Structure 1
Amino acid sequence: MSSDDRQAEGSAEGGGPEQLALIRESVRKAKVPRAKPRTWRGAALAGELPVARVVVNKGVLHLDQFFDYAVPEELDEAAQPGVRVRVRFGAGAHQVRGGRREGGRLIDGFVVERRAESDYSGPLAALADVVSPEPVLSAELLGLARAVADRYAGSLADVLQLAIPPRNARAESKASPEPLPPPAAPEAGTWDRYVNGPAFLAALAGGGAPRAVWTALPGPHWADELARAVVATLASGRGALVVVPDGRVAARVDTALTALLGEGRHALLTAEAGPEKRYREWLAVRRGAVRAVVGTRAAMFAPVRDLGLVVIWDDGDGSHSEQHAPQPHAREVLLLRAAHDKCGFLLGGTSCTVEAAQLVGTGWALPLAADREQVRTAAPLVRTIGDGELARDEAARAARLPSLAWQAVREGLKTGPVLVQVPRRGYVPRLACERCRTPARCRHCAGPLEAPRERELHCGWCGRDEPAWHCVECGNTRLRAQIVGARRTAEELGRAFPAVPVRTSGRDHVLDSVPGRPALVVSTPGAEPVAEGGYAAALLLDGWAMLGRPDLRAGEEALRRWIQAGSLVRGQSEGGTVVVVAEPTLRPVQALVRWDPVGHAQRELAERAELGFPPVSRMAAVLGRGEAVAAFLAAAAAELPADAEVLGPVPMPVTDPGRPRRAGDAPAGERWERALVRVPPGSGAALAGALKGAQAARLARGGGDPVRVRIDPPDIG
């Protein structure tokens, strides 16, 4: 109720309902005077609601607001809330001189609402055109985009560019299929292997909103299990959304859903589909013809009707982190949707991230896992090879593979293919204790210690020198650089097994699947193809190359990659074996041997809570030239939460001009610095608001060196 309505109601006390109705009608007429027609440049404007509130596709923080435009009479019918429009925007766009408007350039936007009056006191520019009468921006999607922009200190326009795919006129002109009735609730199937699996499906089919963190058993059944959760949700008359890391995983879930539902009952939103097909599928979802969606990262914003379940698979995969501003993570977006729509939530994977462990630890979600007997049956046998064994092994020194690995390959090739996982090249060293391999960390902020040639030992986060380091575990004062890079073994394997085909899968050429015949499959992490019937064995080489990354998540990521590869191997009951070349005493290696990713994540979470690391704390990274970063932090200091802690700034490595640029990289050849701003739980929103305000004020002034802000940076090592 407006202030005028409240005033009218107050003055009508004791006057009866008829008098109150008359006063309200007079107030309404006073708000929308109709004494004379409205015009713009001599043309008539819309008689009803002549003002369109528009969000323009201009992702600049100091322009992160709505703009009012006049609606010409000829666009009155088409310019409805949610449609795409073209408007004049820029210098002079809202100025009229001598009866003619000057300045501004055409830019795309979306109509947010139609209004009777504008808050802007000057003359309004008019809508230039309605691009399409298709309403693509709903109130629900607008609210979600606004929440994501605020959480990540970004602009609404940037989020909408991620959420709404580009228009394709041919796809838009095609009618969507008629919605089909809900399917029947599915059988539990292999969900029976999980303690609360059937109950979870029953809750979804009954219209409930259960929230669970699912640790999937190794093997090929996870796609069918995920599909059954979707079908159970559809059976309740609601929609479901599944977000996966890449197109290969999406294809497996797509196949499983098609087997349960048949053709045309769900949409597949991936980049591989092409712009026309992808937009046609997206429109079918928005129009309500399809209520189930499977897709990659961008599908996290899919406008599913009556959303009953959101699912993210393998949330630790870096593909879930958007590289375009404001760089949201799919997991956090789906958490926002689950809270806003009060729908079910399922975070699944064969491994477990610390964020997933935190959801369970706080009681927000319940664990969904199998008992240890089921795990032992489904998981392969894991054997380890440490540094001591490598040093004594003549075969390892001669051919880079220890004797145990050769034996596992020979035995595995008798019954099927063997997977060989080799880390990518390019990992940089991290320092650790020479005796016990405990990572070397700063005493002040627990950041990783570095020792470049031009400087003494210092912290990579806060920049403090550490001249008298000693290991907190064993007291040793000597450091070692952990192994760097990948050791390609395809040639050695080919020479050792000349009668066996050797296939490779990596960044340049990723295999989706391989036959169940004997073969050696050499793959980089994340590119492992699925083997028909499962691999007979797997070798996980150069474990130090993965554990030695200068990243807070090095151990978690190594375990995730190992379990991901091990899940493709046959179970122990079928003779499946995994050999990992890494120090057996290390926590991630022990977690792999026990096949206990949840326990590893819980211990990691406890350590991070003690040290104040994310996700227990919220963190933001500020990057730019040293002077620009210092000035930015000084400007933001007044608005930062009182409990905020600034770490650094410290110099960032100079970007190699020949290396592909990534989000957050400094321009080639430039020396940038990075500062980290850390706040405890409960202050994350204040941190994002303060940094967004400082960035908006800096941009409004114009000029100066660029400064980049990222909330929840994935790599803070």
Structure 2
Amino acid sequence: MSSDNERSSRPGDGPPEQLALIRETVRKAKVPRAKPRTWRGAALAQERPVARVVVNKGVLHLDQFFDYAVPEELDEAAQPGVRVRVRFGAGAHQVRDGRREGGRLIDGFIVERRDESDYSGPLAALAGVVSPEPVLSPGLLTLARAVADRYAGSLADVLQLAVPPRSARAESKPSPEPLPPPGAPEAGTWRRYGRGPAFLEALAGGGAPRAVWTALPGPHWAEELARAVAATLASGRGALVVVPDGRAAARVDDALTALLGQGRHAVLTAEAGPEKRYGQWLAVRRGSVRAVVGTRAAMFAPVQDLGFVAIWDDGDSSHSEPHAPLPHAREVLLLRAAHERCGFLLGGTSCTVEAAQLVETGWARPLAADREEVRRAAPLIRTVGDGELARDEAARAARLPSLAWQTVRDGLRTGPVLVQVPRRGYVPRLACERCRAPARCRHCSGPLEAPEERDLRCGWCARDATGWHCAECGGVRLRAQVVGARRTAEELGRAFPAVPVRTSGRDHVLDSVPDRPALVVSTPGAEPVAEGGYAAALLLDGWAMLGRPDLRAGEEALRRWTAAASLVRGQAEGGTVVVVAEPTLRPVQALVRWDPVGHAQRELAERAELGFPPVSRMASLTGRAEAVAEFLATASLPGDAEVLGPVPLPPVPAGRPRRAGDPPPAAQGGPRPGEQWERVLLRVPPGSGAALAAALKSAQAARLARTGGDPVRIRVDPPDIG
């Protein structure tokens, strides 16, 4: 029998007050009661009450995630990937009398929800959810971070490029149901390339082939890209094609529609307008559409289950984003191909040194036609040197030698003739007739002009230049250095009065011209497509493009020439191209042989000897001399980094258009009047590019965190190092 002591020690045997106390103690020990979470008296979310947010603030020293509390009323809408409004800035996390004050409202994205915060202080709460649409996926966030790190930029800047502005009307419209995968397409004109059918079969079979494609001249490239997209869709995966401009996007759009029908692809270009473009982007994000064609902004398109990325004409400057952190579409697609393990195609009628490097390193395989196919598709290329032009007095006055005149006459019998001029406009720039040195103003070194019937004057300071003589050779006679498209059109109109003359340039770009005799004068990149192809083409003032002080001058001239010549009928149909340039120069010979790959390979070999990109990685620093020197002193550059410079940057004269590589205007943090800026180039060998970008980003972030410092502009992979 138990004692009274033992009976009283059992639960349930004591007084009622004691039993109640014991039960309450046990209940509290088993289920700890959490403190109620509140902010400004309102309850917070019970599960994962912390939202990690990337704010829309592109400065480097704030390139990190920030934690915010999630109010209970926003719990359901505040999911990862949605747009939110948060208070940010001075006082955003200060607490006074139980209230958080200060900070201004800015946009951001939730990247994750968490149970706890790494921040030890009180958290400000989300101010609101802009939209419940999850526009920032984990894959897009990973890509944006990789791009920011490669270009020494901030994640917020990349996200501004990757996620288009919101349109509430577009979000309210439901996206269509996705269509089932189409069947694998026929090879079609891909049979002209030795490995073309095998490339399509690999895509259709779910593979990830990588190729550098040297496309044959002619109109078939858009259809061939469409067949590669169709092959990828047949495997149940998505595809992305990036082209340089809206006209090229329209050609691929038409080819995809003809091959697959409506509703299987989206077109992302600026011409569509904000609402339509955002609606197309949402259809891609929601999985309603699995194929995308667009300009450079489409490089971030959130294609689901991406299986293939392609870029057309990667040497075009339109692929280089002008906003921070200045990424190039080719490099972004290379990152996507590596991260998402998808197929990759870099195509064009020409070949850049970056494309040649991809083949040389074995990362991609060449995809090209044999020489017999090239001879059938390419027009006949004929050259005219400046020597012949100088001997022909009548031709020199109009910049057209006898061969060019005859080619125009013969071509106009059967169709339109294309005339490519290196610049738009009317006013010619002048050079010494004897040594070809540019004619410069003695006061400001600006270019001299002779507009219409006026006297010689400076194009920058407008001073008259009477009594000019060449500082190089003492010559006193001038020649037109580059005559614009409008003046060329007038000259040709007088020479061929019965033939219509049309111009295409920046102010008015023609998409196409009919298959009728006409003269079409165009600047590079604005050439319209002729129905049935041009009968002939003239490439004028080639020496002006080749003589630019640019590392890529030869490559760029050849790219522009091949692009124009590709619009001309094949040699078997009588197509002829005359290029007015020194015949012995390497780019001219590459055009005559139609061998852009060989030219790119030789350029790559020379750059490897000199340590120039893409064999090395480079970055440029520009700013005031003291600021650049201070930046270099504080930056922890890689041990194998080489510092080139500094060199002074000439000021941009008033009235002269800004060019790539110029300092920004004073209103954007550039040099003030009378202030001298300098540029330093940093070069590292292969394998150290990531370390260089990280060092520059860290130094810039530390510099921006300190107030009052002069700006130093950073550009990774600058296009203008020559």
TM-score (norm 1): 0.88
Equivalent position amino acid for 2:652 in 1: T
- Cα pair distance change 1:123/1:430, threshold 3 Å: farther
1:656 corresponds in structure 2 to 653
2:100 corresponds in structure 1 to 101
Deviation, 1:264, is: 1.0
2:346 matched to 1:347? Answer: yes
Map 1:419-434 onto structure 2 (within 5 A): 419-424=418-423
Distance 2:36 2:431 in 1: 75
Structure 1 or 2, whichever has the larger Rg, is 2
Divergent runs of 4+, >4 A: 425-432, 451-456, 477-484, 659-664
CA contact (8 A) 1:314 1:349 kept: yes
CA contact (8 A) 1:192 1:198 kept: yes
1:640 corresponds in structure 2 to 637
CA contact (8 A) 1:510 1:529 kept: yes
Deviation, 1:653, is: 2.4
- Cα pair distance change 1:706/1:486, threshold 3 Å: farther
1:19 corresponds in structure 2 to none
- Cα pair distance change 1:51/1:171, threshold 3 Å: same
Give the length in aligned residue pairs: 654
2:683 corresponds in structure 1 to 678
2:708 corresponds in structure 1 to 703
Distance 1:360 1:258 in 2: 32
Q: How much is the aligned-residue C-alpha RMSD, in angstroms?
A: 2.7
Range moving further from structure 2, 268-277 or 481-490: 481-490
Distance 1:244 1:368 in 2: 19
1:631-674 Cα offsets, whole Å, 9 max, x none, are 112211xx111111111111212123334556653226453211
- Cα pair distance change 1:394/1:578, threshold 3 Å: same
2:174 matched to 1:171? Answer: no
2:248 corresponds in structure 1 to 249
- Cα pair distance change 1:120/1:482, threshold 3 Å: farther
1:196-221 Cα offsets, whole Å, 9 max, x none, are 00000000000000000000000000
Distance 1:588 1:653 in 2: 30
1:125-181 Cα offsets, whole Å, 9 max, x none, are 000000000000000000000000000000000000000000000000000000110
CA contact (8 A) 1:185 1:231 kept: yes
Among candidates 697, 712, 717, match of residue 692 of structure 1 = 697
Range moving further from structure 2, 382-391 or 287-296: 382-391
- Cα pair distance change 1:97/1:661, threshold 3 Å: farther
Distance 1:523 1:102 in 2: 60
Equivalent position amino acid for 1:341 in 2: E
Distance 1:298 1:553 in 2: 24
Give 3-state SS (helix, strand or coil) of 1:525's partner.
coil
Distance 2:493 2:33 in 1: 86
Map 1:390-409 onto structure 2 (within 5 A): 390-409=389-408
2:577 corresponds in structure 1 to 578
2:453 corresponds in structure 1 to none
CA contact (8 A) 2:306 2:342 kept: yes
Equivalent position amino acid for 1:225 in 2: E
2:134 corresponds in structure 1 to 135
Equivalent position amino acid for 2:681 in 1: L
Deviation, 1:455, is: 13
Give 3-state SS (helix, strand or coil) of 1:489's partner.
helix
1:360 corresponds in structure 2 to 359
- Cα pair distance change 1:136/1:428, threshold 3 Å: farther
CA contact (8 A) 1:623 1:672 kept: yes
Deviation, 1:284, is: 0.4
Equivalent position amino acid for 1:98 in 2: D
Distance 2:653 2:54 in 1: 38
Q: Return 5+ residue gaps in structure 2 as ranges.
A: 1-27, 446-471, 667-672
1:5 corresponds in structure 2 to none
2:381 corresponds in structure 1 to 382
- Cα pair distance change 1:606/1:421, threshold 3 Å: same
1:552 corresponds in structure 2 to 551
- Cα pair distance change 1:224/1:482, threshold 3 Å: farther
- Cα pair distance change 1:495/1:428, threshold 3 Å: closer
Map 1:616-631 onto structure 2 (within 5 A): 616-631=615-630
2:554 matched to 1:569? Answer: no
Among candidates 705, 709, 719, match of residue 714 of structure 1 = 719
Give 3-state SS (helix, strand or coil) of 1:498's partner.
coil
CA contact (8 A) 2:407 2:536 kept: yes
Equivalent position amino acid for 1:676 in 2: L
1:465 corresponds in structure 2 to none
Give 3-state SS (helix, strand or coil) of 1:87's partner.
strand
Give 3-state SS (helix, strand or coil) of 1:186's partner.
coil
Equivalent position amino acid for 1:212 in 2: A
1:517-556 Cα offsets, whole Å, 9 max, x none, are 0000000000000000000000000001110111100000
Aligned-residue sequence identity (percent) comes to 85
CA contact (8 A) 2:431 2:480 kept: no
1:306 corresponds in structure 2 to 305
Deviation, 1:325, is: 0.2
1:81 corresponds in structure 2 to 80
- Cα pair distance change 1:78/1:355, threshold 3 Å: same
CA contact (8 A) 1:502 1:520 kept: yes
Deviation, 1:425, is: 5.9
CA contact (8 A) 1:486 1:545 kept: no
Distance 2:551 2:430 in 1: 11
Give 3-state SS (helix, strand or coil) of 2:357's partner.
helix
Deviation, 1:46, is: 0.3
CA contact (8 A) 1:239 1:292 kept: yes
- Cα pair distance change 1:663/1:37, threshold 3 Å: farther
Map 1:43-58 onto structure 2 (within 5 A): 43-58=42-57
TM-score (norm 2): 0.87
2:219 corresponds in structure 1 to 220
- Cα pair distance change 1:703/1:320, threshold 3 Å: same
CA contact (8 A) 1:429 1:548 kept: no
Range moving further from structure 2, 477-486 or 154-163: 477-486
Equivalent position amino acid for 1:665 in 2: D
CA contact (8 A) 1:245 1:313 kept: yes
Deviation, 1:395, is: 2.6
CA contact (8 A) 1:482 1:548 kept: no
- Cα pair distance change 1:651/1:591, threshold 3 Å: same
Distance 1:478 1:371 in 2: 48
Distance 2:695 2:206 in 1: 40
Give 3-state SS (helix, strand or coil) of 2:53's partner.
strand
Map 1:183-262 onto structure 2 (within 5 A): 183-262=182-261
Equivalent position amino acid for 2:258 in 1: A
Deviation, 1:182, is: 0.2
Distance 2:384 2:626 in 1: 49
Range moving further from structure 2, 418-427 or 159-168: 418-427
1:295 corresponds in structure 2 to 294
Distance 1:98 1:599 in 2: 74
Distance 1:122 1:482 in 2: 73
Map 1:529-548 onto structure 2 (within 5 A): 529-548=528-547
Equivalent position amino acid for 1:208 in 2: G
Distance 2:277 2:373 in 1: 39
2:71 corresponds in structure 1 to 72
Distance 1:246 1:425 in 2: 18
Equivalent position amino acid for 1:500 in 2: V
Distance 1:541 1:705 in 2: 45
CA contact (8 A) 2:431 2:481 kept: no
Among candidates 659, 662, 667, match of residue 665 of structure 1 = 662
Map 1:9-48 onto structure 2 (within 5 A): 35-48=34-47
Equivalent position amino acid for 2:554 in 1: G
1:589-630 Cα offsets, whole Å, 9 max, x none, are 000000000000000000000000000000001111222111
